């Protein structure tokens, strides 16, 4: 009897930034930052299947029809290749390959970390599917080389990212919270956002991350809402008035708070409960290209290999 080749189907979750403090440019050309990052239930899906031929086969289907690279430039492909290379360097021989199919639901160029999350999920999945037994340190090194946000998605949940984003501190799980995520047609380049932020005369960071960490440690919901902030909102809202209006629309539709996701262009609004989130989302559905309800995830729930059912 023929048996199906071993395969693994995993979810790669998006993130929001509860805080995003951007400091001055460093000597290496990167900006220092401090951000409390939070995994949310909006996700892509990766299906990995072992095959006899060596190498990596890769396909991608963007459910919204957006143009997502389906070749070796995709971060998920690069992550799988990185895992194989790390195994080879550790003396682990691999005589077979893998086929990866990526279903994209997280919009691109939105600040939601979709590509980075796909990369982390691919790293963890190849390590598991092939029994590579790569160490946590090796996986983190591979993740950091792929992108500043990728290390966060190895563990997910709630965490502070510092430095370029690769220095992580786990935090207590955020109390469950429902969100509305809206991505307009506009896209914001991260490089452009940093340049515009640097051009703001006498700008000062919100420096809200330490206060948010304390609110999370004490599980103070009111302070969590009050301390949420994003330094990129100043230049992005200035240059993209429609995004500033979307922020106001979210609040007028009933969101308790509304903030930019990363450097944009998506925004998220926090809702009192699931029913409110769905009512708010209905206000934007059909008027913006990407509208979704989501909820915050615990560290256990956001593990791509965890297999937890989400409501």
What amino acid positions are annotated as catalytic residues? 15, 149
Cα 117 to its chain centre, rounded Å, is 5
Longest Cα–Cα distance in the chain: 72
Which H or E element spans position 259?
strand 257-260
The stretches of 95-232 forming alpha helices (DSSP H) are: 114-129, 136-146, 150-155, 190-199, 209-217, 221-227
**Which residues are CB-neighbours of 130 under 8 A, at least 6 positions away?**
50, 83, 87, 94, 96, 98
- Comparing C-alpha atoms, which of 30, 301, 304, 265 is closest to residue 162? 30
Residue 164, SS3 per DSSP:
coil
Contact 301, 6 (CB under 8 A): no
The Cα angle at residue 26 between residues 23 and 27, in degrees rounded to 5: 165
- Residue position matching structure tokens 């092939």: 130
Which H or E element spans position 291?
strand 290-295
Give me the DSSP letters along 52-110: SSSSEEEEEEETT------STTSHHHHHHHHHHHHHHHTT-----EEEEEEEE-SPSSS
């Amino acid at each position: 009897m023929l048996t199906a080749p071993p395969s693994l189907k995993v979810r790669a979750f998006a993130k929001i930034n509860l805080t995003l403090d951007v400091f001055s440019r460093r000597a290496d050309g990167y900006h220092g930052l401090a951000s409390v990052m939070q995994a949310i239930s909006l996700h892509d899906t990766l299906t990995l299947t072992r095959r006899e031929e060596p190498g990596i086969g890769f396909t991608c289907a963007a459910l919204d029809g957006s143009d997502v690279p389906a070749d070796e430039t995709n971060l998920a492909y690069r992550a799988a290749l990185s895992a194989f290379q790390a195994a080879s360097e550790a003396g682990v021989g691999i005589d077979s390959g893998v086929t990866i199919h990526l279903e994209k639901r997280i919009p691109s160029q939105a600040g939601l970390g979709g590509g980075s999350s796909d990369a982390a999920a691919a790293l963890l999945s190849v390590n598991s599917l092939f029994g590579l037994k790569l160490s946590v340190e090796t996986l983190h090194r591979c993740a950091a080389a792929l992108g500043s946000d990728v290390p966060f998605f190895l563990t997910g949940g709630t965490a502070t990212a510092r430095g370029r984003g690769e220095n992580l501190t786990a935090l207590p799980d955020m109390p469950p919270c429902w969100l509305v995520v809206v991505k307009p047609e506009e896209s914001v380049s991260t490089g452009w956002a940093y340049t515009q932020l640097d051009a703001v005369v006498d700008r000062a960071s919100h420096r809200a991350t330490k206060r948010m960490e304390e609110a999370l440690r004490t599980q103070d919901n009111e302070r969590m809402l009050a301390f949420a902030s994003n330094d990129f909102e100043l230049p992005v809202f200035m240059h993209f008035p429609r995004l500033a209006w979307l922020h106001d629309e979210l609040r007028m539709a009933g969101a308790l708070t509304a903030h930019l996701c990363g450097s944009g262009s998506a925004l998220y609004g926090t809702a009192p409960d699931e029913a409110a989130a769905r009512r708010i989302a209905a206000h934007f559905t059909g008027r913006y290209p990407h509208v979704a309800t989501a909820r915050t995830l615990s560290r256990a729930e956001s593990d791509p290999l965890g297999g937890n059912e989400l409501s």
